Amino acid sequence: MKRDQALEVLAQRHPDGIVVAVYQSAFDWIGIRPHDLNYLCTGAMGQASSHGLGLALGAPHEKIVVLDGDGSLLMNLGSLVTIAAQKPRNFYHFVCQNSTYEVNGNFPIPGADRLRFDNMARAAGYPHAFSFRDLNQFEAKIDQILRLAGPVFINLHVEPGVSYPRIYEKLHSAKARSAFRRALYRRMIRKEWLWQMQQPIKFYSRPILDVSDKKLIHAVKS
Ligand SMILES: Cc1ncc(C[n+]2csc(CCOP(=O)(O)OP(=O)(O)O)c2C)c(N)n1
């Protein structure tokens, strides 16, 4: 299936939620679904699933979608085990398996003809794992998949379709990161689960939002 078509399907089903995307999937995704809740961590190759896990644990009322690359996941396979052990119910781990390191020259990834990421995820302990080659089959199943309690693993065998421009400045931009942070606070406030949190929210060790700080919350809201 074409990657952009698969991502269009996902965008219809997850129009307004948090998405952690990498490399060509990220470029396509931000073209297809521009949104402040796109978390762009490209550069930290392999870390999307780990960052996604952190978000899933920190924001348990949000569905977290990770759009991983096959080359990227191979660099951090251990995260499958960590995720399965943590059992985040709100975690949906997609991999765009294109069998190459597409963004830096389409070099083949090792073992591409034999790799079964869905089997790996199952063996690591994910309770649900799927693999799709056909767009119609993916489209028929996606609603049901997004209703499952996670962690859920979804491998998509993709080839490039419309490849959106590689705007690295956007992926690496501090502005996009702070837009994400603000959008997340707004979402937390709107959904009112912020008030249930006992601890200040921290960015590294620095508290950035204290739930008792009404002035700050007012600033974020406005
Ligand atoms: C630790 C590390 N090693 C290598 C790179 C260089 N690099 C950037 S993107 C990339 C390939 C990504 O491949 P994949 O995850 O399959 O995504 P695709 O490009 O196919 O969308 C590589 C090797 C990097 N950013 N970080």
Give pLDDT tens digits for 49-74.
999 999 999 888 899 999 999 999 99
What tokens appear for 188 in the block?
């937390």
Ligand 1 surroundings by CB, under 6 angstroms: 22-25, 43, 45, 69-72, 98, 100-104
CA-CA distance, 153 to 74, in Å (whole number)? 15
Instruction: Look at residue 139 in the predicted model and tell me its pLDDT.
Output: 98
Asked if residue 214 is part of any domain, the answer here is: yes
Same domain for 44 and 136, yes or no, is yes
Whether residue 131 sits in one domain with residue 36? yes
Residue 206 lies in a domain: yes
Do 152 and 98 share a structural domain? yes
Q: 133 and 99 in contact (C-beta within 8 Å)?
A: no
- For the stretch 131-175, pLDDT in tens is 999 999 999 999 999 999 999 999 999 999 987 889 888 888 888
Domain span at residue 71? 3-170
Say if CB 10 and CB 35 are below 8 A apart.
no
207 and 162 in one domain? no
Is 187 inside any structural domain?
no
Asked if residue 181 belongs to a domain, the reply is: no
Distance CA 176, CA 190 (A): 21
120 and 11 in a common domain: yes
Say yes or no: 92 and 162 in one domain: yes
Residue 197 has pLDDT above 70, yes or no: no
How do 100-101 and 107-108 pair as beta strands? antiparallel
Ligand 1 atom index nearest CA of 25: 21
Same domain? For 132 and 27 the reply is yes
Is 190 a domain residue? Answer: no
pLDDT (0 to 100) of residue 220: 53
How far is ligand 1, taken at its centre, from the CA of residue 101, in Å?
6
Give all strands (DSSP E) within 133-190, no chain letters: 152-157
Does any domain span residue 133? yes
60 preceded by a cis bond (ω within 30 of 0): no
The stretch 117-121 carries a mean pLDDT of: 98
For the chain, what is the domain count? 2
CATH number of 79's domain: 3.40.50.970
Q: Ligand 1 pocket: which of 25, 72, 166 to mutate (most atoms <8 Å of CB)?
A: 72
Confidence of residue 105 (pLDDT cuts 50, 70, 90): very high
